[in-house]
Amino acid sequence: MRRNKSGILRMERKWGILLALPAMIGLVMFTVVPVIASFFFSITDWRIGNEMTVIGFDNYKTILTNDPTFTKSLYVTTYYSLFSVPICLAIAFMIAFLLNQKVRGLSVFRTIFYLPTIVPSIASTMLWLWLFNPDFGLLNSILESLGLPESRWIYDEATAIPSIVLMSTWSVGNTVIIFLAGLQAVPAHLYEAVEVDGGSAWRKFYHITIPSMTPTIFFNLVMMIIGSFQAFNQAYVMTQGGPNNSTLFYVYYLFRTAFTETKIGYASALAWILFVIVMTLTFIIFQTSKKWVHYEGSNK
């Protein structure tokens, strides 16, 4: 009996490895090998069409000490992240909270708020390019009809990033769904306990909803920060980094360095610096989460 059981376990182990093998090969070929290769490229001065020469960490030194465009792109990306992340997080949470109420046609409203997420990114960017047009765009038409001053939106250095932040609120559907799942997992008996004690709706929201949702908020916060530092399509399609590099996102600068200037080694160094920045921010958020994220059953 034991022999049969051990034979079955060995067979299951072999089948498990066999079935996981394609995914493991794909991980190695398309993730591990490119990551290792990019680090090697980052210590070279390789340009497409030229010979590759190892120069050590000169690319990193140049980027950190003698590249004003790197500083500008990092500033633009940080500026965008600081505004877009909290605004999108708050809007997504508010929408999810409203969609969690028991009203008629709730499934229709959920579909409406999720639809923008399934629109291809380039297509939605082209749509917003028309909305932002200062001459015949819909947004300026609305402002004009309300008697408000018009804006140049992405075509003005002062309003370019705020305009893209406004655009980012269009695609919070995935975050809304995650928040909605978290809200539906909050135990109903906790709300009932507050009602028994005579607590108001605000007390239920502040003392029950928010603490119960902190793990979901934490997850969405991390994902949004990582996503904000990978902003690319807006600059690529709409502004090409302008005006005056006011929308020169870090990833767009990396792309331009690699595929326009063909400086693969330099671009690889930029990619690794971005990796370190994102990892550092994620580590800091994980460390601070011990003070404000509350898990069910935790003694904290």
Average pLDDT over residues 3-9: 70
CB atoms within 10 A of CB 228: 21
CB atoms within 10 A of CB 217: 19
Q: Does residue 207 sit in the same domain as residue 121?
A: yes
Q: Does residue 87 sit in the same domain as residue 228?
A: yes
What pLDDT, on a 0 to 100 scale, did the predictor assign at position 29?
A: 93
Q: What is the pLDDT of residues 23-35, one digit of tens each?
A: 999 999 999 999 9
| pLDDT for 3 beyond 60 | no
- Position of tokens 């590249």? 67
Using the CB atoms, write b or e for 99-114: b if 16+ within 10 Å: bbeeeeeeeeebeebb
What pLDDT, on a 0 to 100 scale, did the predictor assign at position 200?
A: 81
Q: Does residue 99 sit in the same domain as residue 189?
A: yes
CB atoms within 10 A of CB 92: 25
| pLDDT for 280 beyond 90 | yes
For 274, the domain range is: 68-292
Q: What is the pLDDT of residues 46-66, one digit of tens each?
A: 998 888 889 999 999 999 999
| Helices (runs of H) and strands (runs of E) counted in the chain | 15, 0
Q: Does residue 125 sit in the same domain as residue 248?
A: yes
Amino acid found at 139: L
The H or E element that residue 225 is part of is: helix 210-228
Mean of per-residue pLDDT scores for the chain: 89
Q: What is the pLDDT of residues 93-115, one digit of tens each?
A: 999 998 888 777 778 888 888 88
Q: Does residue 24 sit in the same domain as residue 141?
A: no
Q: Is residue 60 part of a domain?
A: no
Q: Is residue 101 part of a domain?
A: yes
Residue 293's alpha-carbon distances to 49, 85, 86, 211, 281, in angstroms, are 51, 18, 17, 7, 17
At 54, phi and psi to the nearest 5? -75, 125
Cα separation of 182 and 180, whole Å? 5
Q: Does residue 135 sit in the same domain as residue 179?
A: yes
Q: Is residue 33 part of a domain?
A: yes
Q: Is residue 297 part of a domain?
A: no
CA terminus-to-terminus distance, the chain: 48
Q: Is residue 173 part of a domain?
A: yes
At 25, phi and psi to the nearest 5? -65, -45
Q: Does residue 153 sit in the same domain as residue 116?
A: yes
Query: Which runs of consecutive H residues, i.e. helices, occur in 100-209?
Result: 106-118, 121-131, 138-145, 160-168, 173-184, 188-196, 201-204
Q: Does residue 28 sit in the same domain as residue 78?
A: no
Residue 209 belongs to domain with CATH number: 1.10.3720.10
What pLDDT, on a 0 to 100 scale, did the predictor assign at position 2?
A: 55
| pLDDT for 295 beyond 90 | no
| pLDDT for 298 beyond 80 | no
Q: Are 132 and 138 in contact (CB under 8 A)?
A: no
What pLDDT, on a 0 to 100 scale, did the predictor assign at position 143?
A: 92
Higher pLDDT, 199 or 79: 79
The H or E element that residue 292 is part of is: helix 264-292
What pLDDT, on a 0 to 100 scale, did the predictor assign at position 198?
A: 78
What pLDDT, on a 0 to 100 scale, did the predictor assign at position 107?
A: 80
Q: Do you find a cis peptide bond into 68, omega within 30 degrees of 0?
A: no
What pLDDT, on a 0 to 100 scale, did the predictor assign at position 4?
A: 66
Q: Is residue 59 part of a domain?
A: no
Q: What is the pLDDT of residues 125-178, one digit of tens each?
A: 999 999 999 988 899 999 999 998 999 999 999 999 999 999 999 889 899 999
| pLDDT for 299 beyond 60 | no
Q: Does residue 81 sit in the same domain as residue 17?
A: no
Rg (CA), the chain: 25
Paired with 54 in beta bridges are 44
Q: Is residue 62 part of a domain?
A: no
Tally the domains of the chain.
Answer: 2
| pLDDT for 300 beyond 60 | no
Q: Is residue 299 part of a domain?
A: no
- Per-residue confidence band for 119, with pLDDT thresholds at 50, 70 and 90: confident
- Please state which of the ranges 94-108, 173-187, 264-278 shows the lowest mean pLDDT: 94-108
The H or E element that residue 60 is part of is: helix 58-65
Residue 143's alpha-carbon distances to 130, 137, 158, in angstroms, are 15, 10, 18
Q: Does residue 73 sit in the same domain as residue 125?
A: yes
| pLDDT for 228 beyond 60 | yes
Q: Does residue 81 sit in the same domain as residue 34?
A: no
Q: Does residue 34 sit in the same domain as residue 163?
A: no
Average pLDDT over residues 34-53: 91
